Amino acid sequence: MVEKDKECEVDIFRDTAVRYLGYTNEVGEAFRSIVPKSVVWSSYVVACGYVLADTVHKGLHVYNEDSSPQKTKRLLLSTSDTLLWQGFASVIIPGLTINRLCATIRYLQTKSSRPMLRSPWISTIIGLASIPVIIHPIDVLVEDSMNATYRKWTGYKPLEPIQST
């Protein structure tokens, strides 16, 4: 079984500024109304690259540290768990949330008779300001959902679960 010293080991993908790469698609979604679509799609490439890098990192950690007979199973469970968790918590749910929030703002702007309230910067600023607000609740939602479904079905327990607050 993989042993981990929780006080000494820092997860570069979750405990450092590298984590912000997972949020680039939210920034892209916030800017959707004022940048070319290629910029928005490029932000998804960066965020998905982050997800894949964390998946490989977690897989290599198990591959290098686990010497149990269950190494292959733990490797597959660790990488699939990371891919699912990061995919939902870093890309799918936050991207969709910011996209719909900004789309709603833009729709409401079309109803305004004041030209100043129709600025595309308004939805961008609101989208950017909402990113720090949505991050933790989405992480907890995905963690709880993974615990109730995938992890329950497979019996996999990650080393550092996110705590609900």
The answer as to whether 36 is a domain residue is yes
**Greater pLDDT, 158 or 123:** 123
What is the per-residue pLDDT across 88-104, written as a single tens digit (0 to 9) for each?
Answer: 999 999 999 999 999 99
The pLDDT score that the predictor gives to residue 80 is 96
The answer as to whether 39 is a domain residue is yes
CB 131 within 8 A of CB 94: yes
Q: What is the pTM of this model?
A: 0.84
The answer as to whether 11 is a domain residue is no
The answer as to whether 160 is a domain residue is no
The pLDDT score that the predictor gives to residue 31 is 97
**Greater pLDDT, 138 or 9:** 138
The answer as to whether 4 is a domain residue is no
* 67-70 contacts, C-beta under 8 A, 24 or more apart: 68/1, 70/1
Alpha-carbon distance of 140 to 81, in angstroms, equals 15
| Parent domain of 35 | 17-154
Total domains present in the chain:
1
What is the per-residue pLDDT across 1-54, written as a single tens digit (0 to 9) for each?
Answer: 444 444 457 888 877 888 889 999 999 999 999 999 999 999 999 999 999 999
Cα–Cα distances (Å) from 63 to 6, 21, 157, in that order, read 19, 25, 16
The pLDDT score that the predictor gives to residue 128 is 96
Alpha-carbon distance of 88 to 105, in angstroms, equals 24
Mean pLDDT of 62-77: 87
